[in-house]
Amino acid sequence: MMSKKIEIVGLEIVGDLWGNDEKKINNLSKRKIQTLISLLIKSVGFLELGSYYHQFGNGGITGVVALAESHIAFHIWPEYRYVSLNVFICNYSKDNSNKARELFNKISTLFGPSSVTRKEITRKLQ
């Protein structure tokens, strides 16, 4: 009987950032957050393929970034000082798990949260 080899497809990190720095999240514009996130993506060595950002009347921002390695999505609720963040990075040619964690941490720092809860989901082929 042949056993199946389990392959790690990637790492998805889902997080809730609470108590974000009011000045930081209220002074963000769609253009500014797009520039900052693009710089962070490059800093860890990932390739940005395209993005979409939308700013709401209350200052909230939703962003989705497609990467060659998968994607990032976030939603900012300035009135609650809350940000939801999702980073999913694939391991097609190498293990990118540590880079996924690094990117999640760098993006989180942009908002200055007092509390971060996160869940890591290992995606596998079986």
Query: One of 51, 71, 75, 97 is an active-site residue; which one?
Result: 75
The first and second tokens of residue 19, run together, are: 């108590």
Q: Cα-flanking dihedrals φ and ψ of residue 91, to 5°?
A: -115, 50
70 has catalytic annotation? yes
Sign of CA dihedral 18, 84, 66, 101: positive
Place of tokens 């889902």: 14
Alpha helices in the chain (DSSP H): 22-26, 30-43, 97-111
Give catalytic residue positions: 70, 75, 90
